[in-house]
Amino acid sequence: MAGQVTVGYPFSAVVGQDRLLLALTLCAVHPGIGGVVVRGEKGTAKSTAVRALAALLPPVRDDDGERPARLVELPVGATEDRVIGSIDFERIVQDGTRAFTPGLLASADRGILYVDEVNLLHDHLVDLLLDAAAMGRVHVERDGISRSYPSRFVLVGTMNPEEGELRPQLLDRFGLAVDVAASRDVDTRMDVVRRRLDFEFDPVAFGQRYADADTAVAERIAAARARLDSVVLPDAELRRIAAVCAAFDVDGMRGDLVVARTAVAHAAWRGADEVTEDDVRVAVELALPHRRRRDPFDAPGLDDGAVDDAMDKAAESVAEHEPDPDPDPDGDGPDDGGGAPEPTDAPDAPDPPSAAPEQSDEASDRRAPSGTNPASIGASYDTRLLQIDGVGEGSPGRRSRARTTSGRVVRATDFAGGSLHLVGTLLRAAERRDPTASGRLSIAGADLRGAEREGREGNTIVFVVDASGSMAARDRLEAVTGAVVSLLRDAYQRRDRVAVVSVRGTDAEILVPPTRSVDVAVTRLRRARTGGRTPLASGFLTARELVARERVREPGRRALVVTVTDGRATGGPDPVDRARRAAAALASDSVASVVVDCETGMVRLGLARDLARALRGTHVTLPELSSASVAGVVRAAAA
């Protein structure tokens, strides 16, 4: 029986994502652009478009003949050995041959390397991918093996920002960035659903419907690649590129280079011989949005007004350096025959973000000062490192110690694949060796020892924020907001999941469920109401329930509860005692805790310090939070 043929969704059938398709196409025309990162919610055709592009790439000619370009998908949990290659230990042990097996980067040569959820990939693996994409080769120097192999590919990373952002240093390494979202146009949404249903009903017939369109795109990509080297980038357009990058305060020169390469690729895609202002405009819109975002709390993207202003200033710079034209002897002005270049088919820029909701007029519900930006407040803090004691086995990150597949080798262990502990292997073989034997040391499979490595993990950070009336004075509110924002900024950099529990009035409220999107947490913190009583007991119990749910969902990820309060529990009978009992209940679950003491004034009751004792956690004051001289280890509560 003939095997079932798998038919992919056609590239030309993707509707409503013109900017995404253009970015992918330009990277296919000029892989030197450096790939594209696609940010967007689920169900926006990110993966569909990437997989469809692979079928349109020109075939690859090897020594053995011609083959289709490959789409290689890199799993988020891949090890470094799987990515770049590793020693074939079995062959070494069996026949003494020092053999090397290349990794996924070798398979992706002259194809597409696709990383879904690239924001969840180990930072050092992202560095490896980006280095390979930039150099076109992979160099491996490890365990006495030195190898180098070609790896020229179109790098595409997709991500859902709600699951956390890439660090700015890594985001900048991607050539282009595209934000995608589901269309709000009814006709477009209907078209998306109709096409998908038609594809699922009969993939073959659906593919045939778009075969000619896909063939035309493939031929156009091949023609653009062939034309690429002959496209001219005039000095006037190069000056325009430099002026726009300078206007946007782009760090370094990578942005300028990527814009130039993208503009050349767009000109080749249009079939033109020379880059024009329109090509530069398209390149700016694709290559610069993620390079302006230096902070997790900066709004992503570029609005039309900002691009217009930068292009206008760049035009002035270009005009200043153009030679004076010859005077028109007839006084008829410039010739209209040539006309302007035809407008490109680049889509419009995304609409600017909508305004924040109006603030409540209720006297009892105060909010953060309207003129205060939490990001700027948090910038005044250089927060100390808070990390959980002990060694975990959680998700990749940059906070607490953990057993990982990367990092420094700490001991030899039973070999189960991965890195080999060479010294441990040799010692084991030596122990098993017959003392009367002579000659070379013989290594058997039972002698192999693995390398246990220690690196860093990300944690779940649960912020319990006292938003009661005693905390709502303007000076204190600004200080507390700055402290929490600084901790959130730190959580962003260390790849933690964060949650925010607000304590005020009669109960505690989960402002932000556990998420990797720290900017969402900051936005909701800005809008949080303050005032009323302080039900701290409810806050601790809510945090306890939240941590318990997260342990079921991600058993390997340890939690840290950070309570920001002055300790003045109020509301109901015996509020202070109830808060201490709730804190002790949280501590009984072996949850690491730290209490940030916000009490001020000449007379201090020390209630926050008492809560820290009940939590069996660490107590710090607001000034200590930014003090580098204070040790940053948070002791986990004893069971």
Domain boundaries, the chain: 11-201, 239-317, 374-392+458-634, 409-455
Q: Distance of alpha carbon 341 from its chain centroid, rounded?
A: 37
More confident residue, 437 or 148: 148
Share of the chain above pLDDT 70, in %: 75
pLDDT at position 178: 92
Query: Which whole number is the average pLDDT over 537-562?
Result: 90
Candidates 574, 573, 568; CA nearest to 532 is 568
Distance between CA atoms of 631 and 577, rounded to whole angstroms? 30
Say yes or no to pLDDT of 369 above 60: no
pLDDT at position 353: 38
pLDDT at position 372: 38
Identical fold at 11-201 and 374-392+458-634? yes
Say yes or no to pLDDT of 94 above 70: no
Q: Which CATH superfamily is domain 239-317 in?
A: Magnesium chelatase subunit I, C-Terminal domain (1.10.8.80)
Residue 142 Cα distances to 57, 147, 394, angstroms: 34, 9, 26
In DSSP notation, 26-52 reads HHHH-GGG--EEEEE-TTSSHHHHHHH
Say yes or no to pLDDT of 454 above 80: no
Query: Which whole number is the average pLDDT over 121-130?
Result: 78
Q: Which helix (H) or strand (E) holds 388?
A: strand 387-388
Q: Which two tokens stand for residue 140?
A: 């491996």
CATH code, 11-201:
3.40.50.300
Say yes or no to pLDDT of 92 above 70: no
Distance between CA atoms of 453 and 408, rounded to whole angstroms? 5
Neighbours of 99 (CB within 10 A): 12
Q: Which helix (H) or strand (E) holds 236?
A: helix 235-247
Say yes or no to pLDDT of 262 above 90: yes
Q: What is the DSSP letter of 285?
A: H
Query: Which whole number is the average pLDDT over 572-576?
Result: 82
Say yes or no to pLDDT of 364 above 50: no
Distance between CA atoms of 606 and 586, rounded to whole angstroms? 20
Helix, strand or coil, per DSSP, at residue 371: coil
Which range, 171-185, 358-372, 452-466, is most confident? 171-185
Query: Which whole number is the average pLDDT over 86-94?
Result: 64
More confident residue, 477 or 516: 516
Buried-state track 221-231, b at ≥16 Cβ within 10 A, e below 16: bbebbebbeeb
Distance between CA atoms of 96 and 94, rounded to whole angstroms? 6
According to DSSP, the β-strands at 497-504 and 460-466 are parallel
Torsion of CA 133, 139, 141, 143, to 10 degrees: 80
Mean pLDDT across the chain: 77
Query: Which whole number is the average pLDDT over 235-249?
Result: 90
pLDDT at position 266: 96
pLDDT at position 384: 53
Say yes or no to pLDDT of 264 above 90: yes
Fold of 374-392+458-634: Rossmann fold (3.40.50)
Q: Distance of alpha carbon 513 from its chain centroid, rounded?
A: 19
pLDDT at position 476: 57
Query: Which whole number is the average pLDDT over 286-313?
Result: 72
Query: Which whole number is the average pLDDT over 439-447?
Result: 75
Candidates 231, 183, 223, 199; CA nearest to 44 is 183
pLDDT at position 483: 66
Residue 603: CA count within 13 A, CB half-sphere: 0
Q: Which amino acid is at 383?
A: T
Of 51, 152, 254, 551, which residue is the catalytic one? 254
pLDDT at position 231: 95
Q: Which two tokens stand for residue 530?
A: 């303050």
Distance between CA atoms of 375 and 456, rounded to whole angstroms? 26
pLDDT at position 45: 84
Query: Which whole number is the average pLDDT over 78-86?
Result: 82
Q: Which two tokens stand for residue 59?
A: 């075939």
Say yes or no to pLDDT of 539 above 80: yes
Say yes or no to pLDDT of 13 above 60: yes
Say yes or no to pLDDT of 397 above 60: yes
More confident residue, 412 or 143: 412
Candidates 131, 109, 133; CA nearest to 35 is 133
pLDDT at position 345: 44
**Dihedral class, residue 319 (left if φ above 0, else alpha if ψ from -120 to 50, else beta):** alpha
Query: Which whole number is the average pLDDT over 232-248?
Result: 91
Residue 475 Cα distances to 380, 472, 596, 623, angstroms: 14, 8, 16, 14
Reported confidence tier of residue 187, pLDDT bands at 50, 70, 90: very high
pLDDT at position 425: 80
Say yes or no to pLDDT of 440 above 50: yes
Query: Which whole number is the average pLDDT over 155-180?
Result: 80
Residue 580 Cα distances to 75, 545, 559, 574, 603, angstroms: 45, 17, 20, 10, 21
The least confident of 36-50, 573-587, 613-627 is 613-627
The least confident of 331-345, 378-392, 621-635 is 331-345
Buried-state track 569-606, b at ≥16 Cβ within 10 A, e below 16: bebeeebbebbbebbbbbbeeebbbbbbbbbeeeeeee
Rg (CA), the chain: 29
pLDDT at position 307: 81
Query: Which whole number is the average pLDDT over 564-569?
Result: 86
Q: Which two tokens stand for residue 239?
A: 């000056």
Query: Which whole number is the average pLDDT over 214-243?
Result: 94
Say yes or no to pLDDT of 222 above 70: yes
According to DSSP, the β-strands at 36-40 and 176-180 are parallel
User: Are 44 and 184 spatial neighbours (Cβ–Cβ below 8 Å)?
Assistant: no
Distance between CA atoms of 481 and 474, rounded to whole angstroms? 10
pLDDT at position 626: 58
Say yes or no to pLDDT of 515 above 90: no
Give the pTM: 0.61
Reported confidence tier of residue 392, pLDDT bands at 50, 70, 90: confident
254 annotated active-site: yes
pLDDT at position 9: 92
Please, what sign has the CA dihedral across residues 527, 531, 536, 538?
negative
User: Are 159 and 39 spatial neighbours (Cβ–Cβ below 8 Å)?
Assistant: yes
Distance between CA atoms of 537 and 581, rounded to whole angstroms? 8
Say yes or no to pLDDT of 386 above 80: no
Reported confidence tier of residue 26, pLDDT bands at 50, 70, 90: very high
Share of the chain above pLDDT 90, in %: 25
The least confident of 182-186, 292-296, 332-336, 512-516 is 332-336
pLDDT at position 470: 67
Say yes or no to pLDDT of 141 above 70: yes
Q: What is the DSSP letter of 591?
A: -
pLDDT at position 95: 55
Candidates 379, 380, 399, 397; CA nearest to 389 is 399
Reported confidence tier of residue 2, pLDDT bands at 50, 70, 90: very low
Distance between CA atoms of 321 and 562, rounded to whole angstroms? 58
pLDDT at position 376: 39
